[in-house]
């Protein structure tokens, strides 16, 4: 698989004795991970392509069955592996909408040209998402387009913010 791969979840544990696994999903809504095919499982740089043949919500989580994995011992070898899918499988999004994955690693600058650091991750707070920016120190910057976020230039890998560099 040559396309750009994106981590969308993780094999978190075992479920039952017939090779099913518990899945931690990073997608929103979480069950979207079950619609992507194929999955690539990765640990320590080793990637293997697998086909999830079945999956469903189970309690507060998700479970899935992988083609060719028919018992608990085979499933145990997958626990802890990241689940990656091709970026091409993602739905198209509109203007001023971004996948979190696309924002991580972008340089964050103020309107005045002061570099604050690089987006390390994002947090979901309920009210709005928050950029976790690491530089000479860690900053939490609300991802509010228009008020705080002035420009996201994916091609230049820069986010321009209206933010006091002293905060």
Q: pTM for this one? A: 0.77
Banded model confidence at residue 1, pLDDT cuts 50, 70, 90:
very low
End-to-end CA distance of the chain: 43
Banded model confidence at residue 3, pLDDT cuts 50, 70, 90:
low
Q: Same domain for 75 and 14?
A: yes
CATH code where residue 41 lies: 2.40.30.60
Mean pLDDT of the chain: 93
Q: Same domain for 111 and 152?
A: yes
What tokens were used for 52? 């999830």
The Cα–Cα gap between 44 and 41 comes to 10
**pLDDT exceeds 90 at position 91:** no
Q: Same domain for 117 and 63?
A: no
CATH code where residue 132 lies: 2.30.30.240
**pLDDT exceeds 80 at position 2:** no
Q: Same domain for 121 and 155?
A: yes
Structural domain total, the chain: 2
pLDDT digits (tens, 9 = 90+) for 26-51: 988 899 999 999 999 998 889 999 99
Q: Has residue 127 been placed in a domain?
A: yes
What pLDDT score was predicted for residue 77? Answer: 95
Q: Has residue 139 been placed in a domain?
A: yes
Q: Has residue 30 been placed in a domain?
A: yes
Q: Same domain for 80 and 106?
A: no
Q: Same domain for 119 and 84?
A: no
Banded model confidence at residue 127, pLDDT cuts 50, 70, 90:
confident
Q: Has residue 167 been placed in a domain?
A: no
Residue at a domain's end among 89, 113, 142? 89
Q: Same domain for 117 and 60?
A: no
Domain extent for 60: 5-89
Residue at a domain's end among 43, 59, 89? 89
Residue at a domain's end among 65, 89, 113? 89
Q: Same domain for 73 and 128?
A: no
Quick check: bond before 16 cis, omega within 30? no
Of 18, 85, 87, 26, residue with least CA distance to 54:
18
In this structure, what are the phi and psi dihedrals at residue 18, rounded to the nearest 5 degrees?
-100, 20
């Amino acid at each position: 698989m040559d396309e750009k791969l994106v981590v969308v979840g993780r094999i978190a544990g075992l479920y039952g004795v017939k090779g099913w696994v518990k899945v931690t999903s990073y997608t929103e809504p979480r069950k979207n991970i079950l619609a992507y095919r194929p999955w690539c499982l990765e640990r320590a740089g080793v990637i293997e392509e697998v086909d999830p043949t079945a999956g469903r919500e189970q309690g507060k989580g998700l479970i899935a069955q992988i083609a060719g994995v028919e018992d608990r011992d085979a499933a145990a070898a997958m626990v802890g592996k990241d689940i990656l899918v091709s970026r091409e499988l993602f739905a198209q999004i509109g203007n001023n909408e971004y996948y979190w994955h696309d924002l991580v690693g972008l340089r964050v600058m103020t309107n005045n040209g002061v570099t604050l650091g690089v987006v390390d991750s994002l947090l979901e707070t309920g009210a709005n998402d928050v950029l976790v920016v690491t530089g000479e120190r860690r900053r939490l910057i609300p991802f509010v387009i228009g008020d705080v976020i002035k420009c996201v230039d994916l091609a230049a890998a820069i986010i321009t913010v209206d933010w006091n560099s002293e905060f």
